[in-house]
């Protein structure tokens, strides 16, 4: 896995130097922005996909606005520590937050002690990416497809297990959604990140894992993991041979992780609008398509209003899951 992330960092950092060259601009006659360095808070430790993508976006933004964009990693509590730090920053456009599904929406829906409210304490700027998950198993597990896996899980309720990157992580959410929609009871085994869980699945200590396609792809291609399905609505363009979870018998199943940018609430609207335009331009730069595709993520630039609607929909979706199953992340 170290070699995977080393290759990811090398490839993405090389691409950062190819970004745009636009200079800083005034937003309107009354607000001049930016006039000093900007901070991008990444609420996870360095080295993973969230951090790497955040650094790519920061470098591209820096090239466009003519000011330094400093990435500040503030990991801890599944993104809560960094999110709280960003929420308490001045609402002046000089602190941005790289967020994702867990801290932005799921904590609101399923956590009783979340020390912030995403829709109250932040202004959405733009979504910047989305990505599918895959369900993988140890190749020695006696199933060849998703239908057989579901049959086995129903025959052995609570005996089969699935690994995730931790309680409240995107893979954990996919696992609980699958438990409900497939009518099974896979036991959750949380890890600190995707890599340790994947190792235990390959070793046969855990039955299955929900993983991002980017991390699982090399092991699938080497035959170390068997993939049973992908969480997109239709077959994924980068992996057309993998059936969807819905095709495997879980009708209507669809689930994707995503990344987006927030700023503290009450940041002046012209600044939010400028940042939204900048990020949408960055995400849609021609060379970004190959960068995103290489690591199993998709270009997905949605502006402020659309991003706010996504967050609201996600909060409702996961509240319903909690109501249906009793699942919480406390």
Q: What is the pTM of this model?
A: 0.82
Alpha helices (H) in 246-287, listed in sequence order: 269-283
DSSP type of residue 150: H
Residue 4 pLDDT > 80: no
Q: Is residue 24 pLDDT above 60, yes or no? A: no
Class of domain 132-230: alpha beta
Mean pLDDT score across all residues of the chain: 89
- Predicted local distance difference test score (pLDDT) of residue 212: 85
Dig out the tokens for 182 from the structure: 């497939």
User: Which residue, 175, 322, 158, 305, is CA-closest to 245?
Assistant: 175
pLDDT in tens, 250-281: 999 999 999 999 999 999 999 999 999 999 99
In this model, does residue 166 exceed pLDDT 90? no
Identical fold for domains 2-130+256-325 and 132-230, yes or no, is yes
Contacts of 155 (CB under 8 A, 6+ apart): none
**Residue 49: what pLDDT?**
81
Residue given tokens 């406390």 in the structure block: 330
Could you tell me the pLDDT band of residue 30, with boundaries at 50, 70 and 90? Answer: low
CATH T-level fold of 2-130+256-325: D-Maltodextrin-Binding Protein; domain 2 (3.40.190)
- CA-to-CA distance for 33 and 27, rounded, in angstroms? 7
Per domain, the residue ranges of the chain are 2-130+256-325, 132-230
What pLDDT was estimated at residue 19?
42
pLDDT for the residue 8: 46
Q: What is the pLDDT of residue 15?
A: 44
State the pLDDT at residue 215: 83
Side-chain half-sphere CA neighbours of 196 within 13 A: 8
- What are the tens digits of pLDDT across the range 84-100? 999 999 999 999 999 99
Q: Which residues contact 46 (CB under 8 A, 6 or more apart)?
A: 73
- Which pLDDT does position 1 carry in this prediction? 47
């Amino acid at each position: 896995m170290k070699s995977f992330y080393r290759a990811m960092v090398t490839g993405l950092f090389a691409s950062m130097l190819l970004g745009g060259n636009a200079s800083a601009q005034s937003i309107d006659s009354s607000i001049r922005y930016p006039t000093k360095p900007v901070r991008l808070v990444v609420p996870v430790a360095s080295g993973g996909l969230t951090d790497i993508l955040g650094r790519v976006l920061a470098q591209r933004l820096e090239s466009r606005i003519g000011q330094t964009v400093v990435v500040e990693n503030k990991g801890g509590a599944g993104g809560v520590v960094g999110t709280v730090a960003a929420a308490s920053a001045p609402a002046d456009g000089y602190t941005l937050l790289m967020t994702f599904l867990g801290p932005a929406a799921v904590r609101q829906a399923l956590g009783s002690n979340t020390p912030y409210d995403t829709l109250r304490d932040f202004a959405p700027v733009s979504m910047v990416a989305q990505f599918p998950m895959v369900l993988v198993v140890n190749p020695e597990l006696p199933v060849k497809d998703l239908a057989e896996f579901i049959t086995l899980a129903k025959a052995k309720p609570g005996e089969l297990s699935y690994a995730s990157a931790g309680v409240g992580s995107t893979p954990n959410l996919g696992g609980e959604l699958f438990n409900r929609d497939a009518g099974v009871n896979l036991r959750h085994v949380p890890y600190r990140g995707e890599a340790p869980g994947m190792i235990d699945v390959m070793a046969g200590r855990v039955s299955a894992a929900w993983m991002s396609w980017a991390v699982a792809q090399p092991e699938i291609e080497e035959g170390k993991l068997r993939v049973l399905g992908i969480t997109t609505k239709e077959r994924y363009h980068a992996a057309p041979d993998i059936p969807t979870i819905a095709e495997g018998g879980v009708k209507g199943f669809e689930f994707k992780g995503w990344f987006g940018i927030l700023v503290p609430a009450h940041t002046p609207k012209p600044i939010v609008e400028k940042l939204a335009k900048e990020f949408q331009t960055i995400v849609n730069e021609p060379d970004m398509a190959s960068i995103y595709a290489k690591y199993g993520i998709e270009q997905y630039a949605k502006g402020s209003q659309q991003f706010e609607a996504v967050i609201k929909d996600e909060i409702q979706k996961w509240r319903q899951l909690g109501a249906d199953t009793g699942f919480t992340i406390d």
